[in-house]
Chain A
């Protein structure tokens, strides 16, 4: 096992009992109370943080609280919509974290956080105390930020931006659509979860339609004037799905402002559409529990110390993944997994009274345009004056002149990456 420099078990016991290191003679009186870290959310951020805290220091008791029985991944959920994968392929049990790393898994919803008492409240009314709290609840939809887009509307016009029922709903609607139908995908302004995600989705819906309903069209209504890996996506659409996908930018009136779900209508600032399927990807904010705990600022996301991920708002609480404001890092599973490892080191260091180590980060997002055609974007990040910044001269996208052979290799690597990040996070 290659791990951080081994922490002294003794030091931990002393730290937990509040004794100074010099109080050696008092050792026999030290109570064996273990320090406890509670983690909220067993997604890519939370599961990884729990695992790496346990790996880093087995003396620490780790409690991982997740409301769902198994984790359903947003990553690769577009392959389920396209019918090249099923929901089981993106559903990951959490029990291995318990078996392999002695993490205590609790299947429950956290309803409140009490930072004064250092306790979290479960739906059942039960309270659980913590020494440090890690919060990784992903995103929450900003209901009604688009006029008319509420929970009821999301059944008729699924967002499918939190994987599970929503993913299956969108898939079913596409199956029920007639050939020659129109699919609208509305894409939000930055920042949101998985910036290339809407365009990967358009590609993979086109992959399905080309095979089963080839006269159909996809219209992307965008609240932005450009998007991640745009030239590569457009080149791929031209090659794979000519004439099938149309993109309407913000300046061409693409921004969706309202929906009438019952009537099937989608309104932009200047136009009205009545598509056969409407996939509304709405504006987002930090997971609800982060809002409730007072961890968000006016942006709706959580400001943190970008070296440790400790909240700027509440000491002793760390926020990672989509909910956090992590400098220039996008909201992705790769980023959440990477941040979790840095946060794990910082939490353990803090508990034993040591300084956190200087972090580095990587992010990569693969996007599948077809089962044998993928593109990628990557960056290496470091801390500069307290902010996570990309390293100049490194990173970037797949070259536009990449060969079809390389694009097929990237599709294979994307599947390998998914397998490995799932094992690294949940295994």
Chain B
């Protein structure tokens, strides 16, 4: 009895969470970046390549852009558009294993 109430509550919580933030696919989150960083994160000029960074490096860079801890011309405006868990998915998409 208790458990099923808990399950219902959990489901409610989960569904309201997913309403606020829909679980997005890593590719759909990451492809918008490649217009600047190059297909698959391989940049040809000026803008840094992402495919040479580790997942952890990308994640940490995005977090510090998002929190305005790292100076940038543009990336802090972009990074603020994503939740931390989305930044993980994006970092996993572009990043190479350490």
Contacts and interface: CB of A to CB of B under 8 A. Distances in A.
Interface of A: 1-4, 52, 334, 337-338, 341-342, 345, 357-362, 364, 376, 378-380, 391, 393-396, 398, 402, 406, 409-410, 412-413, 415-417, 419-421, 423-424, 427
B35 A413 contact: no
14 contacts: A2-B27, A2-B93, A357-B24, A358-B28, A362-B35, A364-B74, A378-B74, A378-B78, A380-B80, A391-B80, A391-B81, A416-B43, A417-B46, A420-B38
Given A413-B73, A419-B45, A424 B33 contact: no
Contacts of B45: 415-416, 419-420
A124 to B, nearest CB: 34
Given A345-B28, A357-B28, A424-B35, A380 B44 contact: no
Interface string B44-58: 111100000000000
Contacts of B64: none
A334 B24 CA distance: 21
B3 interface: no
A357 B24 CA distance: 8
A13 B28 CA distance: 25
A93 B28 CA distance: 28
B28 A420 contact: no
Contacts of A4: 25, 27
A421 B35 contact: yes
Interface of B: 22, 24-25, 27-29, 31-40, 43-47, 73-74, 77-82, 93
Contacts of A417: 35-36, 46-47
B47 A396 contact: no
A358 B18 CA distance: 12
A379 B34 CA distance: 15
**8 nearest A-B pairs in the assembled complex, by CB-CB distance:** A416-B46, A380-B81, A394-B81, A362-B32, A394-B80, A416-B47, A416-B45, A420-B38
B73 A378 contact: no
B74 A2 contact: no
Contacts of A52: 31
A281 B82 CA distance: 37
A376 B77 CA distance: 11
B47 to A, nearest CB: 4
Contact of B39 (A361, A409, A415, A423): A423
A420 B81 contact: no
Contacts of B40: 1-2
A345 B56 CA distance: 28
Contact of A413 (B33, B47, B77): B47
Nearest to B71: A406
B25 A357 contact: yes
Contacts of A334: 35
